Structure formats: C-alpha cells, structure tokens
C-alpha cells in the first residue's frame, strides 16, 4: 500500500469489506452471472454495512470518508471477481452529481437512500447514435409549467434495470445538436410517467451487471428534479469525468493484478513435461513482462490517486492512465488465458470471465481513442 494515503484504518477497512464480499457476494456471483442481474437486497446489505457512498457527510448517511476508501472498495470488488456489482458507478460516479449540483432538498430526498442502498443510481448519457460525443445527444426535455416533458432513448445504461433514480443528460435549450450548450441533467425517478426500460442487454462480459435501454415517451418529470442550472449539464459532466475515469482506471489495474496473481498460482501448480509451466523460460519471461507492466501501472495510478485526493487537475494524466492501463489489462488478459491453455477457455476458471469482463475497460467512461484525443488536445497537437 502507498504510505501517502493509506494507514492502519484503511487496512482494517479493506479486510472488513473483503470479508463481507466473501460471505455475501462471492458464493452467489456465478448464479447472478447466469441470471444477468444482482438482487437489490445485496445493495441494501452493502448500504447497511456502510459500503455505499462512504464519503457522504453524516447528515446524508455517510461517514465523511476520504476517496481512498472508494479506491479500496473498487479494488476489492476486482480482486474477488465481484466487479459486476458496480458499487463504484453508484457511489463514486453518479452520486457525486447529486452531492455537488443538487439542491439541499434534492440531497435530503435522495442521498440518504443512496447510502442505505434503497436507491440504486444510474446515469444515462449514451444514445443509440451517440457514444463518446456527448455534445451530440438528442434526447430532449421541454418545459411545460412545473414539469419537463422528456422524449428520447438511451442505451448501454449500467444499473439500467435495478436503478431507482436515473440522472438523464438531455437537451433543454433550442441550440442545435452537436453543441455543448443547452444540455441539462434531470433526475428521473423510476415511477415517472412515460419512463420505461427495455430488455436487460446480453453482453460479452459483466453478465451479472444489468445493462439496459431506457425510453422516455412524453416522460413527465418535475422541474424540481433538475440538477444545478438548466443548460450547464455538459460542463457538469466534464467536471465529473476526472473522477469517473480514475475509478475505472483503478478497476482495470486491480483486474490486471488479480489476473496475474491467479495465473502465477496456476502456472506453479500446472506441470508439463515433468515441470511447472512457470519454469519454462518463455513462460517465465512472459510473466515477468506482465508483472513489469502491472508495476508501472500501479506506480502511475497511485500518483494519480494522490493527486486527485489533493484536488489537483489531472485530466491529462488520468486520460493517459485510463487509456494505457486499460489496454495493459487487456494485454495481461490475453497472455494469462494463453498460459492457462485450454483451461483458460473454460468458464469454470475465473480467468475466462476476467478476460471477457476486462475488455470493456477500454470502452466505458470514454474509449482509449477518446482518451488519446483529450491528451492530444491538451498538448495542443
């Protein structure tokens, strides 16, 4: 652990959370993978133990914990192979929008239930024809008296089936599509008239994580559900993407570490031609190369975490980090499966699921290509 931001209390918290996962989640994850969803009761158990939104102020149900606790939660979800329980999306990506831009009434209404697990959050940005280009969203909200009438469609929405509250990016202004102006964030509650969900999407990986299409057909939402100022939504999203991408980088790094660890154990136990396959020079060098890349990733990531805790602007570096570490984790996945041989292709071995799941880390939260484009723009290239 990095001594800059970890102490004894963090070690104890990590052990406590790991024990919770081993008892409540790990024994059930295979069944949930088959069912394609994690029961809402598991979220409430998380909340009951203080593992959701721990950074919230006590008056909103949190304990005012630092960001490092969010890092620990995300890492342990990956280390235990339970990363499809996307607590990090709920706690560290979506909830901060409400905490930062929400009114006091909105915070009091929603945040305590976010901490307890009675509300599960999702954020709806992506549309069928709009991925990383957030300025091109078409979902529109028109004000009629005390309500917004929302029409549009969202897709690939994580927590899309389970979520009780969805932060929806939509156009409220008269500006044309593909402009940053006129985009707002509106909170849509699950029982809002005109709001419906499509099917639970059948994905390559993260199978127990519910991902859905969301539909808004003359969906009526109170104006009081607007987050912050009308028309400033695009800038709010840009402000929050630093932490979102950092959390997803933590996930990718931890998954790479978990894959290497399980592969080393397997290679030491598995024998071919009378000796452990880890002892063959080609395999040894392959493992060492992976370990080196993972060590480089960890060093870079820890520096990003420390800078983020210190409230520094790390948009350039976190974009570099997400692109490189996510791609590195995928290289690790490929080599680990190769070292397992045929067994690496079998679902009964965790490496098979990890290899499928890690693929999306180069896509969600902004693709590797978009990350490089951001860095290039900052470098004035």
- Determine the angle formed by the axes of helices 67-79 and 8-24, rounding to 10 degrees: 40
Cα distances (angstroms) measured from residue 380 to each of 308, 324, 374: 23, 20, 10
Question: CA nearest 205: which of 335, 360, 362, 366?
Answer: 360
76 is catalytic: no
- CB atoms under 10 Å from CB of 323, counted, come to 23
Residue 116 to residue 236: CA distance in whole angstroms: 25
Cα distances (angstroms) measured from residue 340 to each of 13, 292, 344: 33, 20, 5
Cα distances (angstroms) measured from residue 284 to each of 239, 273, 292, 351: 43, 16, 12, 18
Determine contact, residues 11/1, Cβ cutoff 8 Å. Answer: yes
With H, G, I as helix, E, B as strand and everything else as coil, classify residue 110: helix
- CB atoms under 10 Å from CB of 273, counted, come to 7
Query: What tokens does 268 get?
Result: 């030491």
- Catalytic residue chosen out of the listed positions 127, 244, 257, 293: 244
Query: What tokens does 74 get?
Result: 């995300």
- Radius of gyration for the chain, computed over Cα atoms and rounded to the nearest angstrom: 21
Determine contact, residues 87/160, Cβ cutoff 8 Å. Answer: no
Burial class (CB in 10 A: 0-12, 13-18, 19+), 10: middle
Residue 65 φ then ψ, to 5°: -75, 155
Query: Could you give the residue numbers annotated as active site?
Result: 244
């Amino acid at each position: 652990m990095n001594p800059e931001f970890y102490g004894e209390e963090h070690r104890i918290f990590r052990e406590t959370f790991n024990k919770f996962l081993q008892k409540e989640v790990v024994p059930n994850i295979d069944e949930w993978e088959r069912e394609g969803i994690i029961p809402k009761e598991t979220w409430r158990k998380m909340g009951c133990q203080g593992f959701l939104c721990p950074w919230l102020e006590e008056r909103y149900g949190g304990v005012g914990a630092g960001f490092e606790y969010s890092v620990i939660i995300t890492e342990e979800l990956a280390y235990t192979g339970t990363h499809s329980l996307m607590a990090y999306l709920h706690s560290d990506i979506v909830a901060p929008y409400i905490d930062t831009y929400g009114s006091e009434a909105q915070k009091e209404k929603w945040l305590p239930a976010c901490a307890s697990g009675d509300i599960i959050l999702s954020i709806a940005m992506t549309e069928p024809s709009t991925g990383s280009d957030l300025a091109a969203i078409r979902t529109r909200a028109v004000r009629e008296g005390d309500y917004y009438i929302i029409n549009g469609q969202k897709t690939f929405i994580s927590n899309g089936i389970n979520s009780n509250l969805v932060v929806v990016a939509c156009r409220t202004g008269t500006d044309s599509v593909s402009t940053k102006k006129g985009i707002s964030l509106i909170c849509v509650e699950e029982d809002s008239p005109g709001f419906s969900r499509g099917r639970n999407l059948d994905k390559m990986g993260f199978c127990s994580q519910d991902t859905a299409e969301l539909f808004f057909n003359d969906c009526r939402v109170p104006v009081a559900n607007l987050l912050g100022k009308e028309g400033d939504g695009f800038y709010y999203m840009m402000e929050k993407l630093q932490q979102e991408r950092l959390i997803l980088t933590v996930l990718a790094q931890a998954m790479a570490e978990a894959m290497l660890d399980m592969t080393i154990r397997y290679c030491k136990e598995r024998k071919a031609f009378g000796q452990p396959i880890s002892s063959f020079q080609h395999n040894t060098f392959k493992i060492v190369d992976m370990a080196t890349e993972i060590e480089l990733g960890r060093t870079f990531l820890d520096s990003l975490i420390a800078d983020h805790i210190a409230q520094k602007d790390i948009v350039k570096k976190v974009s570099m980090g997400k692109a490189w570490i996510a791609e590195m984790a995928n290289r690790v996945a490929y080599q680990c499966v190769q070292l397992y041989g045929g067994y690496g292709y079998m679902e009964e071995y965790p490496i098979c699921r990890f290899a499928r799941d890690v693929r999306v880390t180069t896509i969600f939260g902004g693709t590797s290509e978009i990350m490089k484009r951001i860095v290039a723009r900052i470098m004035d290239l």
